[in-house]
Amino acid sequence: MDRKLVKNYIFSVLYQLLSIVMPLITIPYTTRVLGLELLSINAATSAIIQIFVSFGLLGVAIYGNREIAKVRDDKKECSKTFLEIFTMQCLSMSLSTIAFIIYAIVVGDKYMNILLIQSITLLSVALDITWFFYGVEDFKKVSIRNMLVKVIGVILIFRFVKGTNDLPLFVFLNVMVGICGQLVMWIQIHQYISFTKFTLKDVLAHVKPNIALFVPQIAITIYSVLDIMMLRILYSGGIDQVGLYEQTQKFIRMFLFFITSIGSVMLPRVTNTFHKGDLEGVQKYLSKTIHLSLYLSLPMIFGICGMVQKFVDWFFTNKDYAPVGLLIQLMSPIILFIALSNVFGTQYLVPTGKTKFYTISVVSGAIVNFCVNFISIPTLGAIGAIAGSICAELTVTIIQFIYTRKDIKVRLKVTEILSIIFASSIMFIVVVSIGTLLKSNFLTSVIQIVLGGITYLICLLVIRPPFVKEMLKQIKDRKVFS
């Protein structure tokens, strides 16, 4: 890992930290001002739009990233590849927009006014070239853009959203801030590319390999939004379960960002390394990231389970959200499964072109998710949706492990995993003890997080499992990023 790689991860994590802080500011306000029912409507209509977004983007987010990573050292070829892929993106998003218009006219929706405002997202996504900056490993610009958009969005919500009549305005502000964020990226791209002639044939040449990545991407989207849609359709207890589940997802995603950021940073690097034929370098990267994923995901699960109920008690001023604490605890194991599949799939199968196996794993997860949801949601509501998500991610992880176990040679002993679990367990005891002694408020949650993190690090330094010893040695030799 060189300095650029670490720098990219730091910028990505800084954005993720802001992504954690912003909801801490806005959610108590929006749940009080708009309420559970209106936020559930926002979640339900957004889920519908995301389906059209997925069909419009095909697999561009990953495909564009990977293809740019291959040619980033040749400006002319890089420019040509970018223009071809972006043209394909615009064409496919145009078709998706037409499909949405047909859906709106023929099928309709109970909350059509909100759905139409949400549809502005289609334009925002059509302009999105984040994949290009990831491909050239310029995470700084993307992270700064995203942080700026987040801050502006929060300011606008506090300034203009004042009551239950402001749901359309709330949705409009969110989608328009997104469009402005995309336009900023276009101002910054000139230093990387120059206009190069290309033909429609060149554009169409990207369609087939892009569709190969589209299948797993649409499967991921389906079982990301399927839970919300099936909750809305199958559960007869009211739309409130959608809002509870959405808030659970948001909380888990806040921590997943630290895991998925590793994959975002490593995908272009592993692609470029593999493209040069450096298989030893690929193994080196994967060995470090799979260790890092375990050292992050396991304590996250223990920490979340230990502190989340205290957090929910003060964070959600609307008492309708009280069940979210239990839902988050039930969903927390998904962090481990996604951390592992992020290494097997995003960091190995996709960069090395083994899309077929990646597709099989993700499609299998989508099928499992649908089946479990269909059985459990009618009676269990949000808990049933959580069961579907956990089973889906576990399926994806197991299948990807089967396909990569002979290729990814990582020395990971059972004693090392037990060391991580032991350190995480001690941290859990500390976090729960603090929650028992102190009242539910912001300061208590901060103390739990800080002291829990310190406890975990101290335990690792005392136990010194192999990966920690290696990192300490590299730090001592000033080669931690080598």
Residues 460, 392 share a domain = no
452: domain range?
Answer: 413-482
In Å, how far from its chain's centre is CA 40? 20
Q: Are residue 206 and residue 278 in the same domain, yes or no? A: yes
Alpha-carbon distance of 72 to 6, in angstroms, equals 19
pLDDT at 336 over 90: yes
Reported as a single tens digit per residue, the pLDDT across 171-224 is: 898 888 888 888 878 887 888 888 888 888 888 888 888 877 777 777 776 666
- Interatomic CA distance for residues 460 and 477, integer angstroms: 20
Least confident of 16-30, 363-377, 381-395, 459-473: 16-30
Mean pLDDT on 371-379: 92
Q: Which residues of 106-130 are buried (b: 16+ CB within 10 A; e: fewer)?
A: eeeeebeebbbbbbbbbbbbbbbbb
Overall average pLDDT of the 428-451 stretch = 92
The residue out of 410, 440, 457 marking a domain boundary is 410
pLDDT tens-digit readout, 100-156 = 999 888 887 778 888 999 999 999 889 888 888 888 888 787 778 778 888 888 888
**Model confidence at 394, in pLDDT bands (50, 70, 90)?**
very high
Q: What is the mean pLDDT of residues 333-340?
A: 92
Q: Are residues 21 and 110 in the same domain?
A: yes
Question: What's the pLDDT tens digit per position in 315-329?
Answer: 876 677 788 889 999
User: 236 and 30 in contact (C-beta within 8 Å)?
Assistant: no
Query: What's the CA angle centered on 133, arms 128 and 134, to 5 degrees?
Result: 100
- Alpha-carbon distances of 297 from 302, 326, 402, 473, rounded to whole Å: 9, 19, 21, 23
Tokens standing for 477? 């030799």
Question: Under 8 Å CB-to-CB from 445, ≥6 apart: which residues?
Answer: 307, 310, 311, 314, 315
One domain, residues 34 and 51 = yes
pLDDT of residue 477: 66
Is the pLDDT confidence value at 259 over 50? yes
Q: What count of other Cβ atoms lies within 10 Å of the Cβ of residue 296?
A: 17
Q: What is the pLDDT of residue 122?
A: 92
Nearest to 50 by CA among 223, 298, 301, 265: 223
Segment (H or E) for 223: helix 207-234
Are 113 and 168 members of one domain? yes
**Structure tokens that stand for 85 in this block:** 């892929």
Residues 364 and 426 in one domain: no
Rounded to whole angstroms, how far apart are CA atoms 98 and 299?
A: 46
| Residue 299 burial class via C-beta count within 10 angstroms: exposed 0-12, middle 13-18, buried 19 and up | buried
Q: CA 143 to CA 135: how far, in whole Å?
A: 14
Which residues have C-beta within 8 Å of that of residue 416, sequence separation ≥ 6?
465, 466, 467
463 three-state secondary structure: helix
Assess whether 444 and 304 both reside in one domain: no
pLDDT at residue 252, rounded to an integer: 86
Domain boundary among 379, 410, 441: 410
Q: How far apart are CA 42 and CA 168, in angstroms?
A: 9
362 and 427 both lie in a single domain: no
Task: Single out the residue of 80, 73, 186, 184 nearest to residue 136, CA to CA.
Answer: 73
Number of domains in the chain: 2
- Alpha helices of 316-413 — where are they, by DSSP H? 324-331, 334-341, 355-380, 382-404
Rounded to 5°, the CA angle 65-227-89 comes to 25
Which stretches of 72-206 are DSSP H helices? 75-106, 112-118, 121-126, 130-135, 139-160, 167-188, 200-204
2 torsion bin: left (phi>0), alpha (psi -120 to 50), beta (else): beta
Q: Are residues 440 and 387 in the same domain?
A: no
Share of the chain above pLDDT 90, in %: 24
Q: How many residues does the chain have?
A: 482
Given pLDDT bands bounded at 50, 70 and 90, which one contains residue 20?
low
Q: What are phi and psi of 145, to 5 degrees?
A: -60, -50
20 Cβ contact partners less than 8 Å away, ≥ 6 residues apart: 254, 257
Least reliable range by pLDDT among 172-181, 236-245, 384-393, 412-421 = 236-245
Q: Say whether both 373 and 427 belong to one domain.
A: no
* Domain identity same for 397 and 364: yes
d(CA 310, CA 298): 20
Which pLDDT does position 2 carry in this prediction?
59
Q: Within this chain, do residues 338 and 439 fall inside the same structural domain, yes or no?
A: no
With a cut of 90, say whether residue 411 has pLDDT above it.
no
Burial 77-91 (b: 16+ CB within 10 A, else e): ebbbbbbbbbbbbeb
Choice among 22-31, 301-310, 376-385, 448-457 with the minimum mean pLDDT: 22-31
Mean pLDDT, residues 221-235: 77
Q: Which residue type, as a one-letter code, is found at position 283?
A: Q
What is the DSSP annotation of 245-297? HHHHHHHHHHHHHHHHHHHHHHHHHHHHHHHTT-HHHHHHHHHHHHHHHHHHH
Please report the pLDDT score of residue 238 as a whole number: 63
Q: Cα–Cα distance between 10 and 481 in angstroms, integer?
A: 13
pLDDT digits over 47-75, tens only?
Answer: 888 888 888 887 788 888 888 888 888 88
Cβ-contact 351, 270 below 8 angstroms = yes
State the average pLDDT for the chain: 84
**What does the alpha-carbon distance between residue 314 and residue 262 come to, in Å, rounded to a whole number?**
31
Residue-level pLDDT at 3: 65
